[in-house]
Amino acid sequence: MYKRLSSVMFPIFAVLLIGALVWGYQENQEKNAILIKAENQYQRAFHDLSFHMDKLHSEIGNTLAVNSTSQGMHRKGLMNVWRLTSEAQNEINQLPLTMLPFNETEDFLSRISNFAYQASMRDLTNEPLSEKEMGNLKKLYQNSSEITKNLQDVQQKVLSDRLRWMDAETAMATEEETMDNTIVDGFRTVNKKVQEYPELDWGPSVSNIYAKRSVKKLDGIPMTKEQIQSKAAKFSNADSNKIQVQENGKGTDWESYTATINQAKDSKLMMDFTRNGGMLISYSDTRPIGTKKVSRQEAMAKADQFLVNKGYKDMKAVNYDEYGNLGNLTYVRKQGDTLIYPEKMTVRVGLDTGDVTGFQASDYVYEHQKQRKIPKAALTEAQARKKLNPEFEENYARKSLIENDYSKEVLCYEFGGRINGTKYRIYINADTGVEEAVEEIKPVNATS
């Protein structure tokens, strides 16, 4: 009997064993193929990074080599610098550097990119590169030379010693300080040297991009938990005894309070306030949203009334979008006949009842001025209209204060209309007639 049983089971086990071996071999082959592909991608990105940093150094040198009055060559050189720094940033993002302190180098490249882009986009004939900007380029030329040399040293070792990026990734993931890894050490060296470079004066247009907002810059005396509790009760029309207040970021630049009101089982109200002045940054009602029953017009009317009731006067909706059963509206403040785009806020409406379920006002809080000084327009609306594409079918025109690519507030004529079957907003500078911005107005998204 055992003999008969073994004669039946042995072939079965043999087939299973062979199948397991074949499956294991295939899995191993697929794993190796994935690892080889990842290694090849890392190697390509690294060698491209080294190449583009070398080209960046050369391009800065070319820009410095021409005559100071050669605006055309300056523009061409700066555009190439912007393109090369963008390429280098893209390649850094393809490398496994998330666990490696390389942020100083990334920030350095980002600032070069923004400086080169903004300088190249302005009218260099009327506003040529200043002595300070030329001085910055000379320092960048020296710095980029050092970064390029360090990367090329790492590149040489990678090629000669056949180093693998997968080993570098393992070294960073395991955090083994004692592990000898040329790639990791090389990138740490580059980042450390960049950190030691003296801070350059990039000018206000670039510096504003990196200016960090801080609630400490806000006016108003620091609020207590009890005062925030009272503010939250007034905003939500709730019993203050049911409101829990939590302090956030104590001792940091981002001190704030969160007020929470528990309602039904799956629903709560949450409000964030600044510590200085107790200004409301955001409001959220987490109630479940039912089937859509409210139209766009009804949702907008409800949102308008909500803002009026909460003390936000002179707000105008400039954008509406839908996602599922929610309507999202963007509002900006209107002063006189001018829309103030920096002072914006968003309101979220549940399309089952039309009640507001969310509110975000951080931009409004940081940028709000009770009476903002609006410059006088040098051009008339009719003169600005002549700058539009003749095929543009205008629907409306109004004055708007916007922040341009140079982080400067500029007065514009905003023209809304259609061209090539698509709706756009076009902002014409009210002083120079330059097109400051063009925005496509996408159709309402009602997908769930």
- Under a CB-based contact definition with an 8 Å cutoff, are residues 171 and 179 in contact? yes
Distance CA 302, CA 295 (A): 11
Short-list 411, 287, 298, CA closest to 357: 287
Distance CA 442, CA 440 (A): 6
> Do 159 and 250 reside in the same domain of the chain?
no
Split into its structural domains, the chain has a count of 3
Same domain assignment for residues 313 and 349: yes
Do 266 and 134 reside in the same domain of the chain? no
Neighbour tally for 74: CB within 10 Å: 23
169 and 221 share one domain: no
Indicate the residue type of 218. Answer: L
> Do 193 and 88 fall within a single domain?
yes
The SS3 of residue 294 is coil
The one-letter amino acid at 19: G
Tokens standing for residue 447: 């997908």
Residue 269 lies in a domain: yes
In a domain? residue 372? no
Q: Are residues 187 and 258 part of one domain?
A: no
Instruction: Give, in degrees to the nearest 5, the angle at Cα 345 between 341 and 350.
Output: 140
Asked whether the beta carbons of 134 and 64 are under 8 A apart, the reply is yes
435: containing domain: 381-441
Q: Which of 36, 47, 34, 125 has its CA nearest to residue 87?
A: 47
**Per-residue H/E/C for 203-263:** CHHHHHHHCCCCHHHCCCCECCHHHHHHHHHHHHCCCHHHEEEEEECCCCCCCEEEEEEEC
Residue 400 confidence (pLDDT): 96
Which of 319, 343, 367 is the last residue in one of the domains? Answer: 367
Residue 2 belongs to some domain of the structure? no
Cβ neighbours of 423 (radius 10 Å): 15
Structure tokens at 16: 């299973």
Residue with tokens 């072939």: 11
**Helices and strands (H and E) in the chain: how many:** 11, 12
What sign results for the dihedral spanned by CA atoms 128, 130, 133, 138? positive
DSSP structure string for 318-382: EEEEEETTEEEEEEEEEETTEEEEEEEEEEEEETTT--EEEEE-HHHHHH--TT--PPPPSS-HH
Q: Tell whether 32 and 139 lie within a shared domain.
A: yes
Low-confidence ranges of the chain (pLDDT < 50): 178-179, 446-448
Answer yes or no: do 266 and 243 share one domain: yes
Q: What is the pLDDT of residue 14?
A: 61
Exposed, middle or buried: residue 29 (CB in 10 Å: 0-12, 13-18, 19+)?
Answer: exposed
Integer angstrom CA distances of residue 296 from 144, 287, 319, 351: 54, 20, 12, 8
Tokens, residue 82:
């912007």
- Domain boundary among the residues 341, 367, 393 is at 367
Is 3 inside a domain boundary? no
φ and ψ at residue 24, rounded to 5 degrees = -60, -40
8 A C-beta contact, residue 132 and residue 38: no
| 106 assigned to some structural domain | yes
Integer CA distances (angstroms), 131 to 64, 67, 182, 391, in order: 12, 13, 40, 43
Q: What is the pLDDT of residue 66?
A: 83
> How far apart, in Å, are the Cα atoms of 179 and each of 170, 171, 172?
10, 7, 9
Predicted pLDDT at 203: 67
Are residues 261 and 387 both part of a single domain?
Answer: no
What does the block give as tokens for 68? 């100071």
Integer-rounded Cα Rg, in Å, for the chain is 30
Q: Which residues of 87-120 are buried (b: 16+ CB within 10 A; e: fewer)?
A: bbbebbeebbbeebebebbbebbbbbbbbbbbbb
